[in-house]
């Protein structure tokens, strides 16, 4: 259905953490990496938009402004940044057998650019090079709970009306089974305990133990 290649036949483990702006993704991704390292796994944190040149351009010229650029421009730039990220960071780390935790990935394009009107099939097509994660987690917090966290200097995405539309697409991806939801509207420790538990279960099923790290 996705036309995706598997991440890396049997090597490494690729996790992405998704969710609305300010839902706690970064905190949870970092905590997950820390917990995995504490257990002896070789885990690394990475994020999209990436720290590369296109990612930098996205932050400065696409997100940090008052009005959105045409959504096709967003989609193509996020896809270009993802290609950089996949080739320069994700694949090399996976081929070293690491557990890669990406704070946002392809599903952010489906949700944010999909919510702005782009066809999900087309978004998948322009992201065809992106390997399917072994586990894609969605931190579920309703948009109304997040508005209070949006700062004074907000990005073009940090508006309730935008987040409401994005939320609908994320929920659809959960209903499709493409994202595994975790209730994020709880104390940080409870959310991270669930995420770590979910990841450890999947690692066990894949036969990955700390000695593989």
- Residue ranges in contact with ligand TMP by CB under 6 A: 21, 48-49, 63, 78, 104, 108-109, 112-113, 155, 157
Please state the closest distance from residue 187 (CB atom) to ligand TMP, in A: 21
Q: Taking the CB of residue 7, how many other CB atoms lie within 10 A of it?
A: 20
Judged by beta carbon, residue 41 or residue 112, the one nearer ligand TMP is 112
Q: Are 191 and 184 in contact (CB under 8 A)?
A: yes
Q: Are 100 and 203 in contact (CB under 8 A)?
A: no
Judged by beta carbon, residue 26 or residue 181, the one nearer ligand TMP is 26
Q: How far apart are CA 143 and CA 203, in angstroms?
A: 31
Q: How far apart are CA 101 and CA 120, in angstroms?
A: 24
Please state the closest distance from residue 140 (CB atom) to ligand TMP, in A: 15
Please state the closest distance from residue 94 (CB atom) to ligand TMP, in A: 19
Q: Are 16 and 132 in contact (CB under 8 A)?
A: no
Please state the closest distance from residue 210 (CB atom) to ligand TMP, in A: 29
DSSP string, 10-77: TSSEEEEEEESTTSSHHHHHHHHHHHHHHTT--EEEEESS-SSHHHHHIIIIIISSSSPPPHHHHHHH
Please state the closest distance from residue 48 (CB atom) to ligand TMP, in A: 4
Please state the closest distance from residue 136 (CB atom) to ligand TMP, in A: 13
The residue sitting closest to ligand TMP, measured at its beta carbon, is 112
Q: Of 63, 89, 88, which Cα lies nearest the Cα of 154?
A: 63
Judged by beta carbon, residue 7 or residue 58, the one nearer ligand TMP is 58
Q: Taking the CB of residue 41, how many other CB atoms lie within 10 A of it?
A: 21
Judged by beta carbon, residue 104 or residue 178, the one nearer ligand TMP is 104
Judged by beta carbon, residue 19 or residue 41, the one nearer ligand TMP is 19
Judged by beta carbon, residue 109 or residue 192, the one nearer ligand TMP is 109
């Amino acid at each position: 259905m996705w036309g995706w290649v598997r991440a890396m036949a049997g090597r490494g483990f690729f996790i992405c953490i998704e969710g609305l702006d300010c839902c706690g993704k970064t905190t949870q991704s970092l905590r997950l990496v820390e917990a995995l390292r504490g257990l002896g796994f070789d885990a690394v944190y990475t994020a999209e938009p990436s720290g590369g040149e296109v990612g930098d351009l996205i932050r400065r010229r696409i997100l940090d402004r008052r009005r959105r650029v045409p959504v096709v421009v967003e989609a193509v730039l996020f896809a270009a940044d993802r290609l950089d990220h996949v080739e320069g960071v994700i694949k090399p780390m996976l081929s070293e057998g690491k557990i890669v935790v990406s704070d946002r990935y392809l599903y952010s394009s489906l949700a944010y650019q999909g919510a702005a009107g782009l066809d999900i099939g087309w978004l998948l097509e322009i992201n065809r090079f992106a390997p399917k994660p072994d586990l894609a987690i969605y931190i579920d917090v309703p948009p109304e709970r997040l508005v209070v966290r949006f700062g004074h200097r907000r990005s073009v995405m940090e508006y309730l009306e935008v987040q409401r539309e994005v939320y609908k697409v994320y929920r659809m991806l959960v209903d499709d089974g493409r994202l595994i939801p975790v209730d994020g509207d709880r104390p940080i420790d409870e959310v991270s305990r669930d995420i770590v538990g979910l990841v450890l279960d999947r690692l066990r099923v894949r036969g990955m133990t700390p000695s593989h790290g």
